[in-house]
Structure 1
């Protein structure tokens, strides 16, 4: 097993060569990543607040001052990486680290609890590496990559062995995972299983129960400030106005099927069809492990059904149990990728499953999952075919455009803290990354008062487009300077090769000015700029940037 582990980690390192060679020219996921989770850590870093745990501390870079407790995971180990390394390299090293933990977990599970698993060594390497290369959101830490080693730890406790290392892993898990994505769901699952073991198996489960308690306490410690503020802070947040539209049956059925076949994209997109084919084969043929396989399949189906119908629950209980709307209690989908891999390993302990079919579909499943990893796929393609890389996919560097925004900073020639900006047609995270103080941002949670204040600025644009209006009013985490004209085209991400213009922008410029906003960074030209009180100062463009920026002064 040691050689399998070393070879797997070696292959993982090899797969990261494109990132180490391309550096900031690598492709890095933007959606819910560079536009939010990444920039939170970067802002904490550049503002000197990575390890600030004072509830009164403000991030002046956002919204004229956003309390640091609105940024989750205050004791996350990821913050240490952002402290020690430049933000890009902190991101890459974190991704490499969590994926290494994923490989270690798979290998430990097979070594210690997979005695009946008969899988060729080369295929076990393929399985371990493909699990490690799942397209997870790496800034969620080991929320998914750590599940194998967490299961290994609890199985150790269930079997009353390896207590010290198991408790150590359990205690550290919350410090390197996302509380909202994992805590309630892992704890509920473990408690249900613990009760089942006690009642049905009638075995001594004291070590297991202590492990669950240790995990719970560790979650409290790791997220103490967030939990404390949630319990003590009576201030309303924008989540208090979250509202789900009543879903239709057709979209619900489609979502159930998509979740069963491909998982949920925040958890990790997977290519589940090959596994489902083998599972159905096993169940139909009544092979030796068909009951275990059936239970795994039922688990996936139930998770998919609950996830897809959760909106009905929130609509029904919207007034009486509003917490169901403000917190997503349907994230059991974060178990689905690992369940698929547990299914795959179970197949190899079933001697009655046709090996030609199993080996073939293992390759299809594993390579399909790696293919879903867009960061790896497009960065590798760019390295191999540098002249063929598509302009539709910006690199880390072309997205944040540091050289371009250095020009803008020099042109404005004022200390960045002395004025505020908003962005139009680009994500506010770009301006934030480059040190500007923004009135707009993508925030998971923020004061409701600020939502009302910013809504006044974009009210006229929202009234032009019901889709935008519902998007902001019923959700509102993207506090953006929306344009109804861009909504049907490039929306909030308009690259320079788009020949878009805004004919008539209707925003409350007076309110912007009252909030100390001095400039608008727009990736498209605003035709009626003068009529609404904007003056085009300059247009900035360079070969390295994904955007051209029209600098408007208020």
Structure 2
């Protein structure tokens, strides 16, 4: 009676408002730190954040003409190699500075994720009045998972889509459900989840048809058609360049999985275990310990005995196991037929793992539902454990707590330190005085740090990290670094068999793209082909490491720059005129 009075009294003490307060507290460190927030660097700050910024800078958000290029990337990267202009994340980067756009995007994605998961739980998995608190807590745990928020609702939006499809299937759909299905592709990435959600819905259509539920099958088929049609509309640059009017041959056609993937049963089992226990980091990597404990608790305590629990959980567990095995071994199979089926280069089939986080939360929620009312304490503890696991494995959040405490993690710069705008403004001003040219009047290469840093500071770089760019450019770029690749078989394979990071490599630095100002790193023997660099339009090398013998690369030192607020010390070298 007392508990009912509390939950039905002040609105702020009800489960959903409490979950929203919890999410606000989660986001508070980002708000307090602002541009000094730590943002995930790998495949995020060093790659994805530059794309929406540059699309807005060059007024190319909705410019899908084949002739449109982003001039500051790779001597003119085709606009259609970048993300869709219909994505709300891109719009935010047109309204706000990159760091602010990123944080607002993250807040919106996590808020919508919380509301979508809470709606699914209350409607399907935890519908009883006594389970309102568990649903709110589990929704908060979902919303605070370690995700790549730059990918929008690709992961966190799945519960809302699932609920809408289930309502459509049962004939109880409202206009909002159809709208949600149509809107899902707008803020998600087709290459990550589109083919797999489409395949799953197609399987549901066939199952309903086989069961004689033809009306249900027709409604799900219609929803699937709407979803895929909207993906074509939203991702038209991708579909057009791949399937209709091929604007360029992608560098991905030369991906050689036989050189990238470890073969054999042992390697496949290790990958399977990784997907099963942790998941893949792009799709949310978190330890599945709370899920496993919840399953054990349900088997041990479910009314009716363990067989009842096993019967209800088995399809979910077998599905998770099957997806994990598929993701663990599929690349080995694709590697063997990659030349016969070249279209497979366009899609990484291990991205089926993007569906695993929702499946794991489904198992967790259903396990909690199977627990008797007297085990409420255990259920609350399991939800709390899942929340704690997600928070502790969320490197952005934990790193920002360390920032606030004055003990930042070594080697993990925050946004302001990483982008280092005052430092690069000084470099731009100096080079403008030296050359009489704006950054668009010359091209630079970056050594020891990601070219995205220079791009975010409005430099025009010959190098970049791109998921899709013209193969012809990769072939023109390779001679610049051929001498360094010849010294290191691992780097040579990294570029030739993959090549998303079209970088100025040094065999001495390897794949270290976070060379700090202190201690000073010195590269003793860097063998850039300066003549090829000049022919491609290059003039300056911006290096986070000092070159001991720049003349070896046909370079001469210009100046070096430092700033106490920057993570980097940048050494500027110019190609000698003799290399013309």
Structure-1-length-normalised TM-score: 0.95
Q: What is aligned with 1:99? A: 110
Q: CA RMSD in A?
A: 1.9
Q: What is aligned with 1:209? A: 221
Q: Does 1:291 align with 2:311?
A: yes
Q: Where do residues 286-435 of structure 1 align in structure 2 (5 Å cutoff)?
A: 286=306, 288-351=308-371, 355-383=376-404, 385-386=405-406, 388-413=407-432, 414-435=437-458
- Confirm or deny: 8 A CA contact 2:141 2:383 kept in the other structure: no
Cα separation, 2, equivalents of 1:139 and 1:26: 15
Q: Where do residues 265-284 of structure 1 align in structure 2 (5 Å cutoff)?
A: 265-280=281-296, 282-283=298-299
- Confirm or deny: 8 A CA contact 2:487 2:507 kept in the other structure: yes
Q: Where do residues 53-64 of structure 1 align in structure 2 (5 Å cutoff)?
A: 53-64=64-75
Q: Does 1:220 align with 2:241?
A: no
- Confirm or deny: 8 A CA contact 2:520 2:546 kept in the other structure: no
Higher deviation after alignment, 429-438 or 369-378: 369-378
Cα separation, 1, equivalents of 2:328 and 2:518: 37
Q: What is aligned with 1:243? A: 256
Aligned pair partner of 2:544 in 506, 515, 523: 523
- Confirm or deny: 8 A CA contact 1:5 1:103 kept in the other structure: no
- Confirm or deny: 8 A CA contact 2:488 2:507 kept in the other structure: yes
Cα separation, 2, equivalents of 1:474 and 1:272: 33
Cα separation, 2, equivalents of 1:477 and 1:544: 30
Cα separation, 1, equivalents of 2:273 and 2:253: 31
- Confirm or deny: 8 A CA contact 1:58 1:67 kept in the other structure: yes
Q: What is aligned with 1:189? A: 200
Q: Does 1:508 align with 2:529?
A: yes
Q: Does 1:540 align with 2:552?
A: no
User: What are the Cα deviations for residues 375-430 of structure 1, in whole angstroms up to 9, with x where unaligned?
Assistant: 111112211x12x2233210001001000000101111131110000000000001
Q: What is aligned with 1:153? A: 164
Residues 457 and 304 (structure 1), Cα distance of their counterparts in 2 relative to 1, 3 Å cut: same
Higher deviation after alignment, 129-138 or 421-430: 129-138
Q: Where do residues 49-128 of structure 1 align in structure 2 (5 Å cutoff)?
A: 49-114=60-125, 117=128, 120-128=131-139
User: What are the Cα deviations for residues 439-474 of structure 1, in whole angstroms up to 9, with x where unaligned?
Assistant: 000011111111011111101111110100000000
Question: Number of aligned pairs?
Answer: 550
* Structure 1 unaligned spans of 5+: none
Q: What is aligned with 2:187? A: 176
Shift of residue 280 of structure 1?
Answer: 4.3
- Confirm or deny: 8 A CA contact 2:61 2:84 kept in the other structure: no
Q: What is aligned with 2:514? A: 493
- Confirm or deny: 8 A CA contact 1:296 1:343 kept in the other structure: yes
Residues 306 and 115 (structure 1), Cα distance of their counterparts in 2 relative to 1, 3 Å cut: closer
- Confirm or deny: 8 A CA contact 2:371 2:379 kept in the other structure: no
Higher deviation after alignment, 490-499 or 408-417: 490-499
* Structure 2 unaligned spans of 5+: 1-6, 576-580
- Confirm or deny: 8 A CA contact 1:117 1:346 kept in the other structure: no
Shift of residue 143 of structure 1?
Answer: 0.7
- Confirm or deny: 8 A CA contact 1:118 1:349 kept in the other structure: no
Cα separation, 1, equivalents of 2:472 and 2:178: 43
- Confirm or deny: 8 A CA contact 2:51 2:83 kept in the other structure: no
Aligned pair partner of 2:501 in 474, 478, 498: 478
Q: What is aligned with 1:550? A: 571
Higher deviation after alignment, 96-105 or 348-357: 348-357
Aligned pair partner of 1:440 in 463, 486, 500: 463
Q: What is aligned with 2:39? A: 28
Cα separation, 2, equivalents of 1:157 and 1:71: 33
Aligned pair partner of 1:456 in 473, 476, 479: 479
- Confirm or deny: 8 A CA contact 1:242 1:326 kept in the other structure: no
Shift of residue 281 of structure 1?
Answer: 5.0
